[in-house]
Structure 1
Amino acid sequence: MGRSGRPSRGDPGHLPQEPELPGGWDLSRCLSLARADLDRISGRMRELEQRMDGADADELPLVLDEYAALQEEFAARDGWRFEARAEEVFEALGLRRLPPARLVRDLSGGERARLSLALLVLRRPPALLLDEPTNHLDDAAADWLAGWLRTYPGPCLMASHDRDLLDSAVTGLIDLDGPEGTAVRYGGRYGAYTAEQAAARRRWETRYRAWEERLAAARARLSRASVTARGYRGPRDTGKMEYDARAVGAQAAVSRQARSAREEIRRLHASSVPRPPAPLRFRAAGLADGPPTTDTGDGPLVEAEATETLGGIRLPPVVLQGTDRVVVVGPNGAGKSTLLRVLAGESPPSSGTVRHRPGLRIAHLPQESHFPAETQPLLRAFAETVNAAEDEAAEQLLGLGLFREEDLRVPVGSLSVGQRRRLDLARLVRLQPHVLLLDEPTNHLSLPLVEDLQAALDDFPGPVLTHDRRLRRVAGRLIDMGEAGSSRGGPAMSPEGRTRRDR
């Protein structure tokens, strides 16, 4: 992403996906880190001010030129308003309530990520390199960041799977996994990219069907030639002359047909078209068993009375049934992840009750992936998790297009965060659940996989409750944890079809 304006000098600012700050630093010292460039510039300006008095006629123009350049850079970084900007940025990113003496090691993972982003914004470097900048941001903070990026005067290169951000704050996209492993640039924003991706998928499916049909036809010709060749048996002694006259030519023709078919099969395998990945689905095609029924009929699948969880976070009453689509919103720390864990039965409420219909399969996707067997190869760890044979597990992982064959041998502990997320999704697909509870499900997923996930949720026949600002079409009801656990019914959609985000 590029913006107009003259960039200031200095190194670009880099925000890694998993930022690292010294655990023993407090917030005040971290803030001084963001001021370091400004302190360097102002210190050099003071040195030049002292040199101006004694500079001779030859030196003075050089001193004044350097001083003017530093003034321009200081102004470009908005150095005069640093303290005011620090308050604004910390407020926007939900960090204002943290005491200055709080140590980095005592912050949550989300707080550390937001602190690193805040320090980068306050530095205002001449260029930006951002890796998933909206991870761990609530709706308000993500919207604030998009607005800030639209006014940022320097170039920015980001890796992001946030479709709202890509729709509002970029001028072009680069797909590193384009056709035949090439990088492809798309002009415009996310809408243009998705249209081209859909067209590319249709072209791939057409090529694959044509390749399959040619391969089947070649195999059929070879089979017919083999059957015909077996029909030509050796002649009787008395009919040898007659056999030679009639059969030799026919046998030669059959042999040519067989060779031609084999050569066609060889060429097709040499230039094979891989099968397009199967659509992501959380139920098997034609799955007959719906949600379990009870003696009293078809009541709610999940029902939670108003409860108070550990930490004193007030949870709203929740009922999930039918094809409910519910999105949980609210600021960081409001209890969104806690609510999902309580509904999944993984964290008991300290008061109130949570009821699941007997026999119910609930799939809970937590924010952070966790696999205890870190040294096990991916395939073995997945097979043990879903209680399947390794060949069956490999067929599922490869058939969904979530992994390549060489990935299956990589130890779980060496997987990237994105690969771990895909492994979690594969587990949910295998479970064939009745209810989906998804906590930030699009974090670390590629854009095509986010679109596949959206389509899978559209197709899912049971209730879905999710905390993810990027799943646009899911919401049918909002639970706002920022309003003491209020729940609002009715469509949560704007006329344009986007999820309503009114805070």
Structure 2
Amino acid sequence: MLSINNLSYFIGGRALYENASLHIKPKDKIGLVGLNGTGKSTLLKLINGDYQPSSGEIQKAKDCTIGFLNQDLLSYQSEDSILDVALEAFQETLRLQEEIDKVLKQMETDYSDQIIDKLAKLQDQFEANEGYTIKAKAEEVLEGIGFQTADLQRPLKTFSGGWRMRVMLAKLLLEKPSLLMLDEPTNHLDLPSIQWVENYLKTYEGAVVVVSHDQEFLDNCIEKTVEVSHGNLTLYAGNYTFYKEEKKERMEIQQNAYENQQQMIKQTERFIERFRAKATKSNQVQSRVKALERLDRVNEVIDDNIAVNFKFKFSQQSGRDVVTLENVSKAYGDLVILRNSSARIERGDKIALIGANGKGKSTLLRIVDGTEKIEGKREEGYNVIKSFYAQHQLEALNVNNEILQEMNQAGSAKTEQELRNVLGCFLFTNEDVFKKIKVLSGGEKSRVALAKTLISEANFLLLDEPTNHLDMQSVNILIQALEQYEGTFITVSHDRHFIRGVANKIWYIEDQEIKEYLGTYEEYLNWSAKQEAEKAQYASIAKEVILKEVTPKRKEVDQNEANLLKKELKKKQKDLEKLEYEMMDIEEQKGSLEEKMADPDVFSDSQELDKLNRQYQKVIDKEAELTEIWEALVEEIENIEIEIG
């Protein structure tokens, strides 16, 4: 379907890709992985035609259509409702609808065979394109990725960038291109929406290429992994977990080959050095020199997995109780977030606050922080030192500072070498520490802000979506850092890999209350699945009990009442029979009128056609009225039959 052959792409003098090749087949589900800066997003833009290769070629089949979700779409604005923007995916069908509307308008004065034929063809095309279901499809996708029904008629411009990105994702999914390319699609999705997209992509009919830092998302929706590294594209025939295991094996084989080759090179060089001056060995020496020159060198393995060894120093430990909430209520107008809810955070708690967007997670985080007005009581414990990380912290960075300067201003009293060690854990090494904040990418700024949060010597961290804009390596670094953290923290996150790695308690908001599960995320998922199964089982049992209770009562109906019911039933059945004859008559009238209206002679007589149209409309209205009466009568008869038993 799409073939990348000997692709090279240079930025200045640096080769981002050099003679890289990849073949994408129909229905391939590919995850594109690699460190930040290796060129994953650039490759998608090359495939999309936004960039041109320095050399090599990208060939695609004639019928290959491409849909590309990228972060540039955040700036897209429109006065149209989000439903109308999503419906733009069906441009051909919408065009047909416009044509049909024009023809119907024309038929008010023109009833020629040509117009009738044109309308019939357009309607056939519209039906073949499933035009009558496009609105329902658009609503299903928009609601699947988190929009409420009431939101669908709101203009796109009234939503934040993240929500606008969701609309563009919905539009792409509805377009169903033969190659769907998604660059960090989970950045702006909550957990239920991520799971919905996963399920959608699993059954997607076309090919999919995804760039994502969400490891579980990749595991759940891809079947192949392509690693971008050192200018090459390396294919692994499995999901992300398979890739990690397979890469580890390949690295071991490569490292062994490298070490064996290095040993052979040293032996050869010693031979050359030893016998270089001996004329009797000159041929052998020259032969081995040439062999070394021709040797295809095996590269030493560079392990991308950094082991973090943070040493957190607290000037003081907090008391046992960190924050206590009692009978807390919070509402924004009619939107109630919490009602008389209580919770407690104790020293050593590592809490993940999970759930869908709009439930109030960030609001609850601010309540815990003490920066949100509430009804009820919030009490902070003894010696609690807080540090709050959120996306707005990135804007709080001094853009004119160098990274090392910014870290030095965190007030941790660490030495320059200690700060360099911390920055090294967050992938800022050597001269990187002297980069200005203003030249950093979003992901790099996130790493600086997180590093500042972690060295602040706070004994209580509040982290709002800390993994947003981080690549996989950075997420793993953060997990390792928080695993070693001896204080208390609460984090809002939709990254399941991250939550699994750090949480020992789960919080969620349900029925306007803070609910708590004392255990890991994996244990919570198992417990939640059992709860759902028990609810379903209870509902089934309750239904059986109700039926059993109702059945004896039916038998208790006395004979007089039974006789009255039977008479009523007989009357209703006669009414139904009479009504059905009337409906048959209406059906005949309708058929007769349709035949007359189809007569070519009638088209030449506009007055007669207008008269028939009025009669036909009356028949249609009568048919609808009788159908409604018939449905109500059938329901009444069924209820009486149940009562009689």
Please give the range of the TM-score, normalised by the shorter of the 2 chains. Answer: 0.5 to 0.7
Structure 1 residue 336, shift from structure 2 partner: 0.6
Counting aligned pairs with the same residue, the percent is 26
Q: Which sits farther off after the overlay, 419-428 or 145-154?
A: 419-428
Q: What is aligned with 1:12?
A: 66
For 1:431, give the aligned amino acid.
S
Name which structure has the greater RCO, CA cutoff 8 Å, separation 6+.
Answer: 1
Q: Which sits farther off after the overlay, 441-450 or 391-400?
A: 391-400
Q: What is aligned with 1:254?
A: none
In the alignment, the residues of structure 2 paired with residue 339 and residue 8 of structure 1 have an alpha-carbon distance, to the nearest angstrom, of 52
Matches within 5 A, 1:142-181: 142-176=194-228, 178=229
Structure 1 residue 373, shift from structure 2 partner: 2.6
Q: Retained in 2: the 8 A contact 1:328–1:478? A: yes
In the alignment, the residues of structure 2 paired with residue 81 and residue 407 of structure 1 have an alpha-carbon distance, to the nearest angstrom, of 54
Q: Retained in 2: the 8 A contact 1:307–1:317? A: yes
For 1:190, give the aligned amino acid.
Y
Matches within 5 A, 1:329-478: 329-345=354-370, 347-368=371-392, 369-386=394-411, 391-392=416-417, 395-396=420-421, 398-405=423-430, 407-469=432-494, 470=496, 471-478=499-506
In the alignment, the residues of structure 2 paired with residue 492 and residue 425 of structure 1 have an alpha-carbon distance, to the nearest angstrom, of 23
SS of structure 2 residue aligned to 1:431: coil
In the alignment, the residues of structure 2 paired with residue 147 and residue 361 of structure 1 have an alpha-carbon distance, to the nearest angstrom, of 42
Q: What is aligned with 1:33?
A: 88
Q: Retained in 2: the 8 A contact 1:373–1:412? A: yes
Q: What is aligned with 1:235?
A: none
For 1:476, give the aligned amino acid.
N
Matches within 5 A, 1:243-262: none
Distance 1:404 1:108, change over 3 A: same
Q: What is aligned with 1:268?
A: none
The alignment status of 1:117 with 2:169, answered yes or no, reads: yes
For 1:484, give the aligned amino acid.
Q
Q: What is aligned with 2:618?
A: none
For 1:14, give the aligned amino acid.
F
Q: Retained in 2: the 8 A contact 1:114–1:137? A: yes
SS of structure 2 residue aligned to 1:140: helix
In the alignment, the residues of structure 2 paired with residue 380 and residue 79 of structure 1 have an alpha-carbon distance, to the nearest angstrom, of 60
Q: Retained in 1: the 8 A contact 2:182–2:210? A: yes
Computing the radius of gyration from Cα coordinates, the structure with the larger value is 2
Q: Retained in 1: the 8 A contact 2:190–2:355? A: yes
Distance 1:428 1:308, change over 3 A: same
Residues paired across the two proteins, number: 411
Q: What is aligned with 1:308?
A: 329
In the alignment, the residues of structure 1 paired with residue 458 and residue 247 of structure 2 have an alpha-carbon distance, to the nearest angstrom, of 29
The alignment status of 1:320 with 2:345, answered yes or no, reads: yes
Q: Deviation per CA, 1:384-429, whole angstroms, max 9, x where unpaired?
A: 3456689457614542142244544544344222112111221123
SS of structure 2 residue aligned to 1:305: strand
In the alignment, the residues of structure 2 paired with residue 340 and residue 473 of structure 1 have an alpha-carbon distance, to the nearest angstrom, of 20
Structure 1 residue 365, shift from structure 2 partner: 2.2
For 1:355, give the aligned amino acid.
E
Q: Retained in 2: the 8 A contact 1:87–1:96? A: no
Q: Retained in 2: the 8 A contact 1:8–1:125? A: no
In the alignment, the residues of structure 2 paired with residue 406 and residue 45 of structure 1 have an alpha-carbon distance, to the nearest angstrom, of 65
Q: Retained in 1: the 8 A contact 2:367–2:374? A: no
Structure 1 residue 85, shift from structure 2 partner: 0.8
In the alignment, the residues of structure 1 paired with residue 331 and residue 395 of structure 2 have an alpha-carbon distance, to the nearest angstrom, of 22
Q: 2:133 aligns with which of 76, 81, 85?
A: 81
Q: Retained in 2: the 8 A contact 1:480–1:486? A: yes
The alignment status of 1:189 with 2:239, answered yes or no, reads: yes
Distance 1:333 1:205, change over 3 A: farther
SS of structure 1 residue aligned to 2:451: helix
Unaligned runs of at least 5 residues, structure 1: 47-52, 55-66, 207-270
CA RMSD of aligned residues (A): 4.3
